[in-house]
Amino acid sequence: MHCCSRATLCAASLAFLAACVSSPIPEGYTGPTATIRDSARPESGSRAIFFYVATVDGNAIPESLAVTRQVNYGRGASLTPKVIERKVPARPLVLTLEGRTAYGAPIQEIFNTKTMYSVNATVEFEPTPDRVYVVMGILQQDKTEIWLADQATGERVGKVVQPK
């Protein structure tokens, strides 16, 4: 029974997530695309730092922190990052970038509030077709920053219009 209830819970969670997020490629779009990859850095077996695209043009999309939480469900305090990427239209976009510290178990986040860092920014960006971009950042006690970089050159791209 335990396996069945866990499978049901996972299926319900995936259905709920699917209802809350959308594809960054608009329905009917047939133009050129680029790829944006999230990033994550494990700091221990139960803690990692994530940098990801949360929204494209105001619409929530699948992102690495949510996917990581799904694939790590039921593993206690263990946390193994699952980094995802997605295709986006190669046209002007407004992206919300987010960076977060995450632990394998919610109780760890409660007990470690002093080391829970976050950053976000709104970025205007026009990707070049067929290029790959990566969400990067710094999350430290004395410095938080997030940006989008061209994977091939490492150059920062886009214009921050609203740091938060």
* Cβ-based neighbours of 147, under 8 Å, separated by 6 or more: 97, 121, 123, 135, 136, 137, 156, 158, 160
Tell me if 14 is assigned to some domain: no
Tell me if 27 is assigned to some domain: no
Q: Do residues 65 and 52 touch, judged by C-beta distance below 8 A?
A: yes
Tell me if 146 is assigned to some domain: yes
Tell me if 6 is assigned to some domain: no
How does residue 21 score in pLDDT terms, banded at 50, 70 and 90? Answer: low
Summarize pLDDT for 83-112 with one digit per residue, the tens: 999 999 999 999 999 999 998 887 887 888
Domain count for the chain: 1
Tell me if 20 is assigned to some domain: no
Tell me if 134 is assigned to some domain: yes
State which residues form the domain around 148.
32-163
Q: Which two tokens stand for residue 132?
A: 């790959």
* Cβ-based neighbours of 111, under 8 Å, separated by 6 or more: none
High-pLDDT (> 90) share of the chain, %? 65
